[in-house]
Amino acid sequence: MSARQLDAGAGSGAVSGAAVGLAGVSKRFGSGKAGGLLALDTVDFALRPGEFVSIVGPSGCGKSTLLRIMAGLVAPSTGRCTRPEGVATAFVFQEAALLPWRTVERNAQLLMELEGHAPASCKARAAEALKLVGLAGFEKSYPHQLSGGMRMRLSLARALALRPGLLLLDEPLAAVDELTRDVLQEELSSLWRQAGFTGVLVTHNVHEAVYLSNRVVVMSPRPGRILDVIDVPFDFPRAPELRASAGFAALTGRVTAVLRAQHTTPQAARHAQAVA
Ligand SMILES: Nc1ncnc2c1ncn2[C@@H]1O[C@H](COP(=O)(O)OP(=O)(O)OP(=O)(O)O)[C@@H](O)[C@H]1O
Ligand SMILES: [Mg+2]
The Cα–Cα gap between 157 and 137 comes to 14
The residue type found at 3 is A
Class of domain 49-73+83-268: alpha beta
The Cα–Cα gap between 35 and 235 comes to 46
pLDDT band at 3 (very low <50, low <70, confident <90, very high): very low
Three-class secondary structure of residue 59 per DSSP: coil
Three-class secondary structure of residue 195 per DSSP: helix
Q: Does the pLDDT at position 117 exceed 70?
A: yes
What residue segments make up the domains of the chain, in order of their start? 49-73+83-268
The Cα–Cα gap between 223 and 60 comes to 9
The Cα–Cα gap between 240 and 213 comes to 14
- Beta-ladder partners of 45: 22
pLDDT band at 7 (very low <50, low <70, confident <90, very high): very low
Q: pLDDT digits over 44-58, tens only?
A: 999 999 999 999 999
Q: Does the pLDDT at position 272 exceed 80?
A: no
Q: Ligand 2 mean position to 57 CA, how many Å?
A: 10
- List the residue whose alpha carbon is closest to atom 27 of ligand 1: 59
- List the residue whose alpha carbon is closest to atom 17 of ligand 1: 64
The residue type found at 9 is G
Q: Ligand 1 mean position to 64 CA, how many Å?
A: 7
CB 3 within 8 A of CB 47: no
pTM of this structure: 0.89
Q: How many residues make up the chain in this entry?
A: 276
pLDDT band at 270 (very low <50, low <70, confident <90, very high): low
Ligand 1 closest atom vs CA 66? 18
